[in-house]
Amino acid sequence: MARNTFGVREGEKTVALPDKPDAGLYFIGRIRTPWKERKDCPKNARESDALCTVELDPRFAEGLKDVETCSHLVLLYWMDQAPRNLVLQVPGHYGSQHGTFALRSPARPNPIAMSVVKLHGIEGGKLIVSGLDCLDGTPLLDIKPYLSSTDSMPDAVVGWRKRED
């Protein structure tokens, strides 16, 4: 089942993407992590409590006002090395075929990753967080306060993972 970085495995399927994008994103910063290559990244964020740093473009620095009062944040970031045309995937650690939208794989039409992180502090405009598993230098798209009232669903179930875990 080996593939070079992000090639197509048996059981995977690609589709033609639209001719042109519908909207544009700004990279508003970079995420600094201890992981320089994909093979070094934790398989998921639960496996790591490594402290990582979020470096925000100074032009947006004032947007951090009151962020220090948040215990947890939602980070959105851009998985710029992922292919965008896979609709069916065979994740290496499962070995079975699943739809892209039933997976948290970086490979998806819009490779936007979402991670909930714990905020440890803000120093000189840089956020110190834990709960990430991405490559060093990953482009940052957004920082949001985590709202337990709407974002926390402790009883949520992903049925296919329960069957295969």
Which 58-87 positions form the footprint of a second copy (CB under 8 A)? 59-67, 69-72, 74, 76, 78, 80, 84, 87
Least Cβ distance, residue 113 to a second copy (angstroms)? 9
**Which member of 3, 5, 38, 44 binds a second copy (CB under 8 A)?**
44
Residue 27 in the binding site for a second copy (CB under 8 A) = yes
Residue 146 in the binding site for a second copy (CB under 8 A) = yes
What tokens appear for 149 in the block? 């009232």
Q: Count other C-beta atoms under 10 Å from residue 131's C-beta.
A: 18
Phi (first) and psi of residue 91, to 5 degrees: -60, 135
**Which member of 46, 93, 123, 124 binds a second copy (CB under 8 A)?**
46
Q: Is 111 exposed, middle or buried, given 0-12, 13-18 or 19+ CB atoms closer than 10 A?
A: middle
Residue 49 in the binding site for a second copy (CB under 8 A) = no
Q: How many angstroms separate the CA atoms of 24 and 130, rounded?
A: 28
**Which member of 90, 129, 135, 143 binds a second copy (CB under 8 A)?**
143
Alpha-carbon dihedral angle through residues 73, 76, 79, 85, given to the nearest 10 degrees: 130
Strands 86-89 and 13-14: antiparallel
**Which member of 35, 100, 129, 135 binds a second copy (CB under 8 A)?**
100
Residue 112 in the binding site for a second copy (CB under 8 A) = yes
Residue 141 in the binding site for a second copy (CB under 8 A) = yes
